[in-house]
Amino acid sequence: MTAIITATRLADELTGAHPPALLDVRWQPSLAKAPGAPSFDGRAAYAARHIPGAVFVDLDRELAAAPGANGRHPLPDLAEFGAAMRRAGVSSDRPVVVYDGGQGWAAARAWWLLRWTGHPDVRVLDGGLPSWEGELSTDSPAPAEGDYRPAPATAGLLDADGAAELARTGVLLDARAGERYRGEVEPVDRVGGHIPGAVSAPTTENVGPDGRFLPAAELKDRFKALGVSEDTEVGVYCGSGVSGAHEVLALAVAGVPAALYVGSWSEWSSDPSRPVAVGADPQ
């Protein structure tokens, strides 16, 4: 099963006998907002235009719990997450396709949560909404209630201690921009830098200028150069567990399973007792 889907293939499936549940997860990180600019409103963007049949999912409210000691986007309450997915028409035996505004991070967060909680068939629209060449709609569908019940996996999720251990025994990839990894800037969290032993691997380098993922072979070569081999245990973190999900998705495209540290740097850096490395070297 592939982790991504092209717009052409999605258009075919939406007109088929068994169309997938389609989720619109448009969202932007606050650090991407220009000073003084209004916050991005994903629901308003959805209301203005979306792929026909898509249901809006709010990342901050339905794919994450409230910010706190566990980070800016901690895991959602799974009962509430399941209820939100059922309202969106998600069932265990129905494929799901998720998309966002093109960056891919928010869609990847939805993909990761659904996969980690047991859904067998979830894909991300490669390139997001900008890749869609079909008609757009302003209608809000009312799908039949789904039956999805989250059942979290025992693997695929890291906490702070697990991330620290993996940085020593496997490969822990830091999906943030290089300047944040090096500690040169930190626009959001208490301090800049990275988890000691983590390797800088900006998730923006996994896609081309059009926002689509690089071919699987190129992604595999990229991760190999970062120390990932067939027998390597791999983990990923980012600022708050959103762009890191996009890197996990890129690894999946390359055929590499990886775990996600959801709390990520927003959780790690909030505790002054945890060590912080700066500079280009992992240690």
Residues serving a catalytic function are 238
Determine the Cα–Cα distance for residues 71 and 67; give it in Å rounded to an integer.
6
| Coil, helix or strand at residue 91 | coil
Q: Record the tokens describing residue 140, joined without a space.
A: 């809000």
- Distance CA(247)–CA(101), nearest Å, equals 17
d(CA 43, CA 24) in angstroms, rounded, equals 9
At 277 the three-state DSSP class reads strand
* CA gyration radius, the chain: 18
Pick the closest to residue 195 from 155, 244, 146 (CA basis).
Answer: 244
DSSP assignment letter at 171 = E
